[in-house]
Amino acid sequence: MVKKCEGCKMRIYGYTDGLHELSICFKCGRFTGTSGGDDEFIQMINGDPMILLEMIETKMLTPTYDK
């Protein structure tokens, strides 16, 4: 099942690096996720959300697929 953004109702895309799991809406920029207890990661992403795009571009975060 395709997940929808709570804000704009468009599709959200999932990414992971094995520890962190994130869902990102590329239309409105909303993101949610779990950090696996990594508080430093949460602070880093909340301080500069563009880091998420860099992590996707460099393949540090890889897509998760709906089954």
* C-alpha distance from residue 13 to each of 40, 54, 65 (Å): 23, 15, 8
Q: What is the model's pLDDT at position 1?
A: 73
User: Looking at the predicted structure, is the pLDDT value of residue 67 above 60?
Assistant: no
Tens digits of residue pLDDT in 17-62: 999 999 999 999 999 888 888 889 989 998 999 999 999 999 999 9
Q: Which 3 state secondary structure label does DSSP give 56?
A: helix
In order, the DSSP letters of 3-54 are -B-TTT--B-EEEE-SS-EEEE-TTT--EEEE-TT-HHHHHHHHH-THHHHH
Mean pLDDT for all residues in the chain: 91
Q: Which 3 state secondary structure label does DSSP give 61?
A: coil
Q: What is the model's pLDDT at position 9?
A: 95
pLDDT bucket at 65, cuts 50 / 70 / 90: confident
